[in-house]
Amino acid sequence: MNNLSALLASARMRLITISRYPGQIVLDIAVPVIFAALPIMLGRASGEAAASAAFSRNAGTPNYVAYMLIGSSVFSIVSMAFWHIAYWLRWEQESGTLEAIYLTPTHRAWVAGGTVLYSCLRSLVAAFAAYLIGAWVFGISPFQGEMGLALVFLAVGLVPVYGLALLFGALILKVKEANSLVSLMQWGVSFLMGVFFPITVFPPTLRAIALLFPPTWMTNGVRSALLGMGYFFGEWYFDLAVLWLFLLVTPLAGVRIFSWAERSLRRNEGVGQF
C-alpha cells in the first residue's frame, strides 16, 4: 500500500510539474501534427488522386493522411517513453537526488513506476489529441476501421516500449550524455518502426532488425486495425501474439540490464556521479 502511494505520488508530482508549463503541453500535441504534415503536404502537392494511387501501391492504403498521422502519433508515444525515462534518470543525477532515492526504504522500482505512469498519461493524451486535431486539420475521419483492436495493439505495445526505455535508461546511466543519445535514438526508433513508410522498403537484414523491435509491430497493428492494410502474419491475432511475446521478454530484459548497469555504477563511483 505504501509502495503504491509512493508510485502515485511520484506520478502526481511530475503531472503537477508539467501542468506548470502549458506551452510544453501544446508542443507535445503540435509536434506530431507538424511532423506528419511534412510528407502529407508533399503528397498533396503532387496531385491528390495520383498521390493516393501511388501511395496505395507502395504502402497498401490510399489513405496516406491517416497513415502518416498514425505513424507520427505512435512515434510520439514511443519517443516520449524514451525521453521521459532517460531524462528522469539524468535529472535526478544532475539535481543530486538519485543517490538519495536509492537510500529510501521505498524500492526505486515504485518511483520509476510513477514516472512510467506519468509518461503513459502524458504521451497518450498528446498522441490522441494530435491524431484528432491532425485528422480535423487535414479533413479525414479519425474514427475508422476497428478502433477497439487498435487500442488493444497500443495498450499491449506500451509495456515492451517501456521495457526498451529501461534498457535505454541503463545506457544513459553509463554514458551520461542523455540529450545526444535520446535524440539519436528517437530518430532511430522512427526509422525502424516505419513512421512514414512500410518496412517492406528495407533490405532483408534491416527488415529483420525492424521486426525485432516492438514499436514496429505496434505501429503496424494500429495502422492495420484502422486502415485495413494487412498484418505481418496475415491475421491480427498472430501479430498480437508476437507483441505479447515482446510484452513478456522486453521488460525482463530491461530490468535485468538496468540492474546490471546500476550495480556496476554503485560498485565504482556511485549513481550520483555525473
Question: Closest distance between another protein and the C-beta of residue 207, in Å?
Answer: 13
Question: Distances from the Cα of 186 to the Cαs of 95, 160, 161, 189, in angstroms?
Answer: 24, 16, 12, 5
Give the one residue of 1, 2, 57, 268 binding another protein; rule: CB under 8 A: 57
Give the one residue of 112, 150, 195, 226 binding another protein; rule: CB under 8 A: 195
Please, are residues 231 and 221 in contact by the beta-carbon 8 Å criterion? yes
Please, are residues 153 and 226 in contact by the beta-carbon 8 Å criterion? no
Residue 20 interacts with another protein (CB under 8 A): yes or no: no
Residue 21 interacts with another protein (CB under 8 A): yes or no: yes
The C-alpha cell that represents 148 in the structure block: 477497439
Question: Closest distance between another protein and the C-beta of residue 126, in Å?
Answer: 14
Phi, psi at 74, each rounded to 5°: -65, -40
Based on CB atoms, which residue is closest to another protein, 129 or 159? 129
Residue 31 interacts with another protein (CB under 8 A): yes or no: yes
Q: How many C-alpha atoms does 205 have within 13 Å on its Cβ side?
A: 0
Residue 196 interacts with another protein (CB under 8 A): yes or no: yes
Residue 13 interacts with another protein (CB under 8 A): yes or no: no
Give the one residue of 23, 148, 203, 204 binding another protein; rule: CB under 8 A: 23
The C-alpha cell that represents 215 in the structure block: 514499436
Please, are residues 11 and 115 in contact by the beta-carbon 8 Å criterion? yes
Based on CB atoms, which residue is closest to another protein, 54 or 124? 54
Q: Which stretch binds another protein (CB under 8 A): 99-107, 161-169, 194-202, 245-253?
A: 194-202
Q: Which stretch binds another protein (CB under 8 A): 45-53, 120-128, 235-243, 245-253?
A: 45-53
Q: Calculate ∠ Cα 134-142-55, nearest 5°.
A: 75
Based on CB atoms, which residue is closest to another protein, 177 or 269? 177
Which among 22, 21, 30, 15 has a CA at the least distance from the CA of 131? 30
Give the one residue of 5, 19, 58, 141 binding another protein; rule: CB under 8 A: 58
Residue 96 interacts with another protein (CB under 8 A): yes or no: no
What's the DSSP call for residue 272? T
Q: Which of residues 200-259 bind another protein (CB under 8 A)?
A: 201
DSSP state letters, 197-247: S-GGGS-HHHHHHHHTSHHHHHHHHHHHHHH----TTSSHHHHHHHHHHHH
Q: How many C-alpha atoms does 153 have within 13 Å on its Cβ side?
A: 27
Q: Which stretch binds another protein (CB under 8 A): 19-27, 102-110, 116-124, 247-255?
A: 19-27
Binding site for another protein (CB under 8 A): 21, 23-24, 27, 30-31, 34, 37-39, 41-47, 50-51, 53-55, 57-59, 64, 68, 175, 177, 179-181, 183-184, 187-188, 190-191, 195-197, 201
